[in-house]
Amino acid sequence: MPVLVPDYHVHTEWSWDAPRGDMERSCERALEIGLPAIAFTEHADWALVHKGQHSVDIAGYFEAVERCRAKFKNLKIQTGVELGEPHWYPSETADVLSAGPLDRVLGSIHCVRLGGDMLDASQFRSHEGLDFLSAVREYFRETLAMVESGQPFETLAHLDYPKRYWREGVAPYREQDYEEPIRAILAAAARTGRVLEVNTTRGNTLCPDLRVVRWWREAGGQAVSFGSDAHQPDRVAAGFEVAVQMVESAGFKPSPEPTALWRR
């Protein structure tokens, strides 16, 4: 069965953490599998907690997109950016967003501040002395702060990102254990007209899964987008078959326009 949903969360060589990223080959891959559209949403990060981490060279990125659009005329290529903690960096965010037309603007929390340290959720499990479950609660608190901040992003990306990096030896992640903070985030996102992303984390797991997408509908959420978060061409749209079924069963439908978002 061909995958017919656009992938609106893809990284390329223009993201600091995608050494195997390749915009041209990602376009080839998208055409090969029949995607109606692809958006390259590079990391715009200013909370620098990893070695070699830096924000996007947005001018170079736009030139690369133009080269791909000229080369792959049959593919709808959208521009985009994944803002990390935009509410902490409003002027940097405004600069990136004013650099050119961006079709897809994702808002993401990767980092939280804990006891004077700034930590990415991928670092929670190995950070000595850290109360892991409190850190996860802090992650959701920060996500709510971002959604309520008024920063101009359209899509709330990977709402439950810490589950990708769950610590061994603690009880497994369950959406219902975080129902209250997640519902608060969803209510704020619905109120502000945001889109909820279902992130397939390169084909590994759904972020978020069915229960949360149902809560999204209950909260009045209108739209869902799909993102693989691929960091290399062969992961584009990975996991989309399962995601599409899940989102459909949560009560969202494809639009007749194949590049549009799914709506309730």
Chain positions contacting Zn ion, by CB under 5 A: 82, 108, 229
Least distance CB 220 / Zn ion (angstroms): 25
Least distance CB 183 / Zn ion (angstroms): 22
Cis, bond preceding 256 (omega within 30 deg of 0):
no
Q: Collect all residues with Cβ–Cβ distance below 8 Å to 47 and sequence separation of at least 6.
A: 84, 85, 88, 89, 110, 111, 118
Q: φ and ψ at 189, to 5 degrees? A: -70, -40
Q: Rg of the Cα trace of the chain?
A: 17
Of 217 and 230, CB closest to Zn ion: 230
By the 8 A CB rule, do 121 and 158 touch?
Answer: no
Least distance CB 82 / Zn ion (angstroms): 5
Of 108 and 232, CB closest to Zn ion: 108
Of 204 and 249, CB closest to Zn ion: 204
The 8 Å CB, 24+ separation contacts for 24-27 are 24/67, 24/68, 24/71, 25/233, 26/230, 26/233, 26/236, 27/68, 27/71, 27/72, 27/75, 27/77
Least distance CB 238 / Zn ion (angstroms): 13
Of 149 and 200, CB closest to Zn ion: 200
- Tokens 């080369």 correspond to what residue? 71
CA distance 135 to 127: 11
Least distance CB 76 / Zn ion (angstroms): 20
Which of 1, 5, 7 has the alpha carbon at shortest distance from 234? 7
Of 120 and 175, CB closest to Zn ion: 120
Of 160 and 229, CB closest to Zn ion: 229
Least distance CB 253 / Zn ion (angstroms): 26
Which of 22, 204, 188, 83 has the alpha carbon at shortest distance from 196? 188
